Structure 1
Amino acid sequence: MKASEEILAVWRKFDGFPMETLTKAWLYSKRGNRKQRDVETMKQHREEFGVTGNCFDLAIWLLEAFKEAGIKAYPIGSELGTGDDHAAVMAVDRIGRRFLCDLGDQWLQPILIDGDDEAYTDEKLAGFFPGAEVQVLPENDHFQVVYHRPNGKFSTQVYSSLPVPMKEFLAAADYSQSHVYPKPLLEVRLPWGNEIAHWEFDDWKSFLSTSHGLVEDPPLETIDEWVARIHEKSGYDKTLLKESLEYFKGLSKSPSS
């Protein structure tokens, strides 16, 4: 179910890249361009401030990296242009096998989605998603992923496997970048013991998802405390973080500064 080494080589360039909405809010706070950034701009912001972006940013960046490596890849998405949309990438190896590449949901590595391939299995697999085992269940032009958590709970997500035309995908990206959901979010893969876990800052709470279950962080009261914690986990520029979180504070009820 694992991807070829040439696909993995591109994927690994994005190890440690968070998925987040903090950069979008920071751009809003600066009254800057509220459309999808190009890859050159994203690279510049990464170099200057350590930031990455949301699922559209990461998908577009990953698509460009696959293109530079000579690997066929195309965008996929669900509920595009609705505000509840999600963007990911499908990479295709030299023999035509398709692999889901989802930086937005912080997968550990790409996974095969072709049910007719000899390497395919519908068994629960570890090592693909932090803090959970996954099953891939293909069906015609879509596939379902079942996430099995260590506490016995499970959740599902349905992906379309059909390519989204780039013009349509970029229009959905522009729509996403022009709307800021009032609850801040950052997710990042982090080493934890002998595994890679998933740390999440979501609506002024933070926790770590591991193969042993959730590890909740102590609550914080101030913006400055959150800046310090998020900087420790992500390496993001502290001034940018404070400006971003202050912007979120103005959108909804949040900790005092």
Structure 2
Amino acid sequence: METLTKAWYFHKGTSKKQRDVTLMKEHRMEYGNTGNCFDLALWLLDEFKNDGITAFPIGSKFHSDEAHVAVVALDEKGNRYLCDLGDQWLQPILVEENNEDYTNEKVKGFFPAAEIQVQTRDQNHIEILYHRPNGKVSKQLFDLTPIERDVFLQGAEYSQNHVYPKPLFECRVPYKNEIAHWEFFHWESFLSTSEGLHEGDQTDSIEHWVNMIHEKSGYQKEFIYEALSKYR
């Protein structure tokens, strides 16, 4: 999940800033890039549709810098699964009240560098608790109400037209016997693992971050350089 593509494509001069899935796939093939949470959700919805899986977008704080969107997919029994690529979840998680396996229990393997709990507020609202290795607990409230596609696309277009001044890049990386979370934000990096948070490099050298992000993701170096230059 990253905002490099947003800044890069914003300056291409197109009237429509939210790319369709076909164009995202073309860019992926050419540059290796992906996009922000709206891009990832739109692409995931298309993949579910192609596979015959019922799914819909959910989100919060549309038309603001804090907007976030994810996807809910249904199994053959109508059970809902949260799929949040934007926040780098490792796999979908069942969010029904009758889930006796891990509702209200701390579980591993769903989110990098944290145990999580699913707490049901009501039929359409859940709260996720993230338990970090240092004992810190953060919370996130999800509204599972489906968002109409036109509302989703309006929110996406707004987001792509508002480039946050600090570059962000997040990815999942292998670390020992787990999948960790590597983040580059505003010219410094962090690695979140089950052992705790490891602070990484801090420099305003674009060349350094081009090499680092390329190493982590395989993104084309020329693309990374052009994208990061938009933030300078």
* TM bucket, shorter chain: over 0.9
Question: Which secondary structure state, in structure 1, belongs to the residue aligned with residue 116 of structure 2?
Answer: strand
2:212 to 222, 229, 241: 229
* Partner deviation per Cα, 1:100-142 (whole Å, 9 max, x = no partner): 0000000000001111234452110110000000001111221
Distance across 1 between alignment mates of 2:174 and 2:222: 25
- When the two chains are superposed, the root-mean-square deviation of aligned CA atoms in Å is 1.1
Note the residue ranges of structure 1 that are not aligned, 5 or more in a row.
Answer: 1-18, 250-257
1:99 equivalent in structure 2: 81
Percent sequence identity is 57
Question: What pairs up with 1:91-130 in 2 under 5 angstroms?
Answer: 91-130=73-112
TM-score, length basis structure 1: 0.87
Alignment match of 1:169 (pick from 142, 149, 152): 152
Deviation at 1:20, TM superposition (A): 0.3
3-state SS, counterpart of residue 71 of structure 1 = coil
* 1:1-257 equivalent positions in 2, closer than 5 A: 19-140=1-122, 141-249=124-232
SS of the residue corresponding to residue 20 of structure 1 reads: coil
Letter in 2 for 1:186: F
Report the secondary structure of 1:236's partner residue: coil
Task: Say which SS state the counterpart of residue 39 (structure 2) adopts.
Answer: helix
Give the TM-score normalised by structure 2: 0.97
The answer to whether the 8 A contact 1:198-1:209 is kept is yes
Report how many residues are paired. 231
Instruction: Give, in whole Å, the separation in 2 of the partners of 1:34 and 1:154.
Output: 39
Task: Quote how far apart the aligned CAs of 1:31 are.
Answer: 2.7
Secondary structure in structure 1 of the residue aligned to 2:170: strand
Does structure 2 conserve the Cα–Cα contact (< 8 Å) formed by 1:114 and 1:120? Answer: no
Q: Is the 8 A contact 1:27 1:33 kept in 2?
A: no
Comparing 110-119 with 164-173, which one deviates more in the overlay?
110-119
CA contact (8 A) 2:10 2:17 kept: no
8 Å Cα contact 1:208/1:214 also seen in 2:
yes
Q: Using the TM superposition, name which of 211-220 and 36-45 deviates more.
A: 211-220
Q: Deviation at 1:67?
A: 0.5
Task: Tell me the secondary structure at the aligned position of residue 230 of structure 2.
Answer: helix
CA distance in 2: counterparts of 1:235 and 1:151, whole angstroms: 31
Change (3 A) 1:132 1:206: same
